[in-house]
Amino acid sequence: MDYILGNEKLQQGCIFCFSREKSFDKQGLILSRSADTVILLNRFPYANGHLLIAPNRHAGELADLTAAESASLMEQVRHSVAILKKHLQPDGFNIGLNIGAVAGAGLADHLHFHIVPRWNDDHNFMTVISEIRTIPQHIDQTFDMLLPDFQDLIKTI
């Protein structure tokens, strides 16, 4: 219910371009914004700790990215996996990129990676069966838990 009500208050426009001047923003679930990339918790997660990682610049195509932006995105994926492993101890990850609405990208005009932690006994099959998703930790708690490490990350890159 929080998600449904929260959605009504959602910012207008692109979630990755929201609050561009801040290095984090709890309302926007932005864990980290560096010169080249932005990392968000997905407001509609497939699993606890489901992250979205995007270039800071509003770009929809891989070909639009500079080499520096591409490298930065991959670095952020690498560090994000390490931070999620530390806090959530998943057994594996799904990491991917949906390009274009036809491929399932809900926010097709701003390219973004999904990082979805997976556990051996997780219940993500529920998503296939119905719209019910079993998320054991509230997204605000997950945000607070992950924020310090993601803010430290900005200092190291």
Catalytic residues: 112
CB of 132 to Zn ion, least distance (A): 30
| Binding to Zn ion in span 64-93, by CB under 5 A | none
Nearest to Zn ion of 13, 67 (CB atom): 13
d(CA 123, CA 121) in angstroms, rounded, equals 7
CB 27 within 8 A of CB 52: no
Q: Which long-range contacts (CB under 8 A, 24 or more apart) does 53-56 make?
A: 53/77, 53/80, 53/112, 53/113, 53/115, 54/16, 54/110, 54/111, 54/112, 54/113, 55/110, 55/111, 56/16, 56/20
- 115 three-state secondary structure: strand
Single-letter amino acid code for the residue at 49: G
Least distance (Å) from Zn ion to the CB of residue 39? Answer: 14
157 is an interface residue for Zn ion by CB under 5 A: no
Is 17 among the residues that bind Zn ion (CB under 5 A)? yes
Is 110 near Zn ion (CB under 5 A)? yes
Q: From the CB of 14, what's the least distance to Zn ion, in Å?
A: 3
Min CB(32)–Zn ion separation in Å: 16
Helix (H) or strand (E) holding 39: strand 37-41
> Could you say whether residue 33 binds Zn ion (CB under 5 A)?
no
Ramachandran angles phi, psi of 127, nearest 5°: -65, -35
Q: Which of 26, 58, 123, 133 binds Zn ion (CB under 5 A)?
A: 58
> Which CB atom, from 4 or from 63, has the smaller least distance to Zn ion?
63
Q: How many residues bind Zn ion (CB under 5 A)?
A: 5
Range in contact with Zn ion (rule: CB under 5 A) among 14-22, 60-68, 96-104, 146-154: 14-22
Interface residues toward Zn ion, by CB under 5 A? 14, 16-17, 58, 110
